[in-house]
Copies of this chain bind each other. A is one copy, B any other.
Amino acid sequence: MIRESRVRRVVATGTFDILHPGHIYYLEESRKLGDELHVIVARDRNVRHKPRPVIGEAQRLKVVQALRVVDVARLGDATDMFRPIEEIDPAVITLGFNQHFSEEHLLASLKERGIGAEIVRIGEYRGDPCTSTRRIIERILEIRGRP
Contact = CB atoms under 8 A, between A and B. Distances in A.
Interface of A: 18-21, 24, 51-52, 54-56, 58-59, 62-63, 66-69, 127-131, 136-137, 139-141, 143-145
Q: How many copies does the complex hold?
A: 2
Nearest to A21: B62
7 contacts: A19-B19, A21-B63, A54-B130, A55-B136, A56-B130, A59-B130, A141-B141
Contact of A144 (B20, B51, B130, B131): B51
B136 A145 contact: no
- Chain A, interface SS category: loop
Contacts of A66: 21, 24, 67-69
A62 B58 CA distance: 23
B129 A24 contact: no
Contact of A24 (B24, B52, B56, B62): B62
A130 B19 contact: no
